[in-house]
Chain A
Amino acid sequence: QVQLVQSGADVKNPGASMKVSCKASGYIFTGYYMHWVRQAPGQGLEWVGRINPNTGGTDYAQRFKGRITITRDTSINTAYMELVRLTSDDTATYYCARDCGGNKYYFDYWGQGTLVTVSS
């Protein structure tokens, strides 16, 4: 069965960087785009970016460009999302989510979420 398992919760200082991992299993990792979606506490969902695990090609939401890098390691079926220059506004649960196929930008499987708290 398809599973996306994310790294654990983290606390960061303002100005620091964060990196969340998402290990995929149960399907061909390079066959489906992987997205990242975040959710601030008590708020709605926000698409952050995505990677094509086959080619490494990426697409980022405009508001994160310059601060975000999504990468993958196909040898261990894992995607990563790194966000730098963190502020308190980046406090959120970050989800990886598998594209339904064909780079459609809707999501059929989700990781369990990683809470990142930015606080001094």
Chain B
Amino acid sequence: EIVLTQSPGTLSLSPGETATLSCRASQSVSSSYLAWYQQKPGQAPRLLIYGASSRATGIPDRFSGSGSGTDFTLTISRLEPEDSAVYYCQQYGSSPRTFGQGTKLEIK
């Protein structure tokens, strides 16, 4: 099973700044089959990024994904208050498909 470790656990930034969230896999993620989701309190997750770097429909270009192999990054530029959420990475290249434990992003 591929274990995904996200860091930091919590990130506190101000509006307008850039957030860098990390997702490290215990084994190489095949074909960069990695997705990122955003989850706000009381809501279902929302797909942001798939294939490590492709934005899902309707996702603003402030959100970008990068990486390959075992190291992946979600970058959120020009932070806005509504970006406050927990962000999860997920690998879907190997069975069982697994999620990271999440990074909580707080906007001051």
Interface of A toward B, CB cutoff 8 Å: 37, 44-47, 61-62, 95, 97, 100, 104-108, 110-113
Contacts and interface: CB of A to CB of B under 8 A. Distances in A.
A44 B100 contact: yes
A110 B92 contact: no
25 contacts: A37-B45, A44-B88, A44-B99, A44-B100, A45-B45, A45-B90, A46-B99, A47-B96, A47-B98, A47-B99, A61-B96, A95-B44, A97-B45, A100-B47, A100-B50, A104-B33, A104-B92, A105-B92, A106-B33, A107-B45, A107-B47, A108-B56, A108-B57, A112-B44, A113-B44
Contacts of B28: none
A108 B97 contact: no
A45 B87 CA distance: 11
Contacts of A95: 44-45
Interface of B: 33, 35, 37, 44-47, 50, 56-57, 88, 90, 92, 96-102
Contacts, number: 46
Nearest to B90: A106
A44 B97 contact: no
